[in-house]
Amino acid sequence: MTLIKNSLILSLMCFVFSAHAAIPVPAAPKLSAKSFLLIDINSDTVLAQKKIDRSIEPASITKMMTAYVVYKELEIGRISLDEMVPISEKAWRMKGSKMFVEVGSKVRLGDLLMGLIVQSGNDASVALAEHIAGTEVIFADYMNQYAKTLGMNKTNYVNSTGWPHHRHKTTARDIAVLAKALITEFPEHYQLYSEKSMTYNGIKQYNRNKLLWRDKSIDGIKTGHTDSAGYCLVASAKRGDMRLISVILGTRSNKARTDQSQKLLNYGFRFYESHALYVAGEGLKDVRIWEGEKENLALGLKQDLTVTIPRGQYKKLEASMEIDQTIIAPVKKGQEMGSVHVKLNGDEIISMPLVALNTIEKGGLLQRAKDKIILMFD
């Protein structure tokens, strides 16, 4: 079917949310990190980047995927937060950051999850991996399967902790994909990433993400450090309806990763704004459908349409629709019937398919015959 341009500007665009004059957008901060990325997760807009597909050792950033697998197991009911997890000698002997579990003891799974997220405990990570998969090697295979499902195409895990290994690699882009999944799929668990401290076995330890003390809008996510990987930090902040994720990989110090993450986030919030234009499932246009049990078909979007643009530019947005010229029943819910296009200053910034919001079957014989005649002379 051919497409015809619908000159109708969608009614929502008539409202002006920002009356400010446009603010010039300067270049992103120059950072010393080996790789970095700043993204608005509601629109998937990249606001700043450097070598985001460069293969990097993730260090303890790895534990974001360890937690993701745990959340998936909780979701499908194979484990529970209150069950007791045995601590192996391997878990107990782990070096680096620890929550100090005792070999041969049993620890509540929820406590291990807290130790994994807040304290970045290598012992907690191995204990969880062994409990879920039997061995850490098999658990790493789980991690890689989920990475593939999420589209983390340049990531490979060989352990649950981020302990250095020449085949244990990821990228800033892939980490951002995982961070978004943690936030959007498991909001009830994500809140743990904002905890500043935890106490276990009489030992109080503090979250290594120093941004939690600097900026109230920051609520996660994860630090990482090894000699080979450098100092890394994945951070997320929400101000109003806008949520940004920054990924900083390979800086020289704890202070550097913290300062550079703060610079990136401040840059994004200062010079950009995010707007939710249309809601998934909302009827944007009713169109004529021929030879169907009904004469009208509602069109909308499968997912929310959000844009991230330079501040003060909202009133310059324009949206238009392209709709299939002749739509004949049957039509299934979700079937593509055209597209929505959003432009800023004449340049298209995003487009999404228009889909049928309901199913319409073929009409009766009389209705089909009548519509065929009308179409014949149209």
Pairing type for strands 305-310 and 336-344 reads unpaired
DSSP for 15-79 reads S-S--SPPPP-PPPPP--SSEEEEEETTTTEEEEEESTTS-B--GGGGHHHHHHHHHHHHHHTSS
Q: Which of 35, 43, 60, 261 is catalytic?
A: 60
Q: Give the E-state strand segments of 227-259 in sequence order.
A: 230-239, 242-251
Catalytic site includes residue 154: no
Taking alpha carbons only, the member of 323, 322, 317 closest to residue 347 is 317
Beta carbons of 276 and 329 less than 8 angstroms apart: no
DSSP for 155-166 reads -B-S-SS----T
| Dihedral angle computed from the Cα positions of residues 140, 124, 209 and 234, in that order, rounded to the nearest 10 degrees | 10
> Is the link from the previous residue into 330 a cis peptide, with omega within 30 of 0?
yes
CA distance 184 to 179: 9
Catalytic site includes residue 51: no
Q: Which of 35, 43, 63, 236 is catalytic?
A: 63
Taking alpha carbons only, the member of 132, 143, 141 closest to residue 66 is 143
Q: Which of 88, 97, 120, 320 is catalytic?
A: 120
Catalytic site includes residue 120: yes
Query: Collapsing DSSP states into helix, strand and coil, what is residue 282?
Result: coil
Residues marked as catalytic = 60, 63, 120
